[in-house]
């Protein structure tokens, strides 16, 4: 059985960090499909990426994000920024990852309240 989840980045002000996220997250694969959010004016895009993320087992969305995708982003991002990405699992709740070039923090979200 395949597991499906979704993800969204925060608004990313740094162009280098946004480009790093776009390169990694905007894939068109079976288990990863990301898109840049269009502007409400119809002109251009917002520096936010959202999409689907999945795997073959329960909770694999979190494993892929933390151990595969975030390290790829870290290699390409600048040394000064922090980025947050929320991952909403199909069956295992929600985690928010906050990371910079060298570290990754993981926080569980219950009832819409980050803990």
> What's the pLDDT tens digit per position in 39-98?
988 788 999 999 999 988 889 999 999 999 999 999 999 999 999 999 999 888 999 999
Instruction: Work out the angle at residue 56's Cα, subtended by the Cα atoms of residues 52 and 57, and round it to the nearest 5 degrees.
Output: 105
For residue 108, the tally of other CB atoms under 10 A from its CB is 11
Domain count, the chain: 1
pTM of the prediction? 0.91
Q: Model confidence over 49-58: pLDDT tens digits?
A: 999 999 888 8
Q: Model confidence over 8-31: pLDDT tens digits?
A: 999 999 999 999 999 999 999 999
Residue 68 has which token pair? Answer: 């595969």
Domain of 110, in residue numbers:
3-114
The helix/strand/coil state of 52 is strand
DSSP type of residue 102: S
């Amino acid at each position: 059985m395949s597991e499906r989840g979704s993800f969204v980045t925060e608004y990313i002000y740094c162009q280098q960090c946004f480009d790093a996220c776009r390169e990694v997250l905007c894939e068109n694969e079976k288990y990863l499909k990301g898109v840049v959010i269009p502007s409400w004016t119809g002109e251009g895009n917002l520096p936010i990426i959202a999409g689907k993320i999945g795997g073959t087992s329960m909770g694999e969305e979190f494993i892929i994000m933390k151990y595969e995708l975030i390290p790829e982003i870290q290699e390409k991002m600048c040394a000064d920024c922090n980025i947050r990405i929320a991952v909403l699992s199909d069956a295992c709740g929600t985690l928010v990852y906050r990371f910079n070039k060298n570290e990754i923090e993981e926080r569980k979200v219950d009832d819409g309240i980050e803990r």
